[in-house]
Structure 1
């Protein structure tokens, strides 16, 4: 399974938080005036879109919405100060 993309995305999020470019969707979410609420709204929105896609036959849409949900969950984790590596470690600890 390829998981390097998670590391790469997390590093991009960390870098953009510390060195924000002029225009960045990541920075917009992380520094939004609504604070954590904006990131959580996106997780809720993407969750709903994934649920709808999961109940429909279009495989590509399921993949697209799953990717959006994971991306926005990672952004929310970043916003609340939870390291993605700690989430991975928790998942690993659940393996039996």
Structure 2
């Protein structure tokens, strides 16, 4: 699902469609996309703090979409993101003042 959504977003960047919200974001540029990512991240935090599962799922979907738009804007493929996550698999995070945890 995420792969197909990302591909649709990339296609909107290549072939704009009138009235598309995705194209609106691309037309407004990086600052608008970053603002939306920030807003959605904040809404995720609020939904989680309010212990509202439906709202959290909805806001996570919004955040995911806007992050995918950001990746497309910066011409970063999902494969590069996946490779980064794979590099981290099984690694231990060691940070002063924090207990060691397995990232995945």
Shorter chain as normaliser: what TM range? 0.7 to 0.9
The structure with the larger Rg is: 2
Cα drift, residue 84 of structure 1: 2.1
Indicate the structure with greater helix content. 1
TM-score, normalised via structure 2 length: 0.81
TM-score, normalised via structure 1 length: 0.87
Cα drift, residue 94 of structure 1: 1.2
Q: Within 5 A, what are the aligned runs for 1:21-40?
A: 21-32=17-28, 35-40=29-34
Cα RMSD of the aligned pairs, angstroms, is 1.0
* DSSP-derived class of the 1:26 partner: helix
Question: Larger RCO: Structure 1 or Structure 2 (Cα < 8 Å, ≥ 6 residues apart)?
Answer: 1
| Runs of 4 or more above 4 Å deviation | none
Q: Return 5+ residue gaps in structure 2 as ranges.
A: 91-104
Q: Return 5+ residue gaps in structure 1 as ranges.
A: none
Q: How many residues align?
A: 90
User: Who is 2:94 aligned against?
Assistant: none
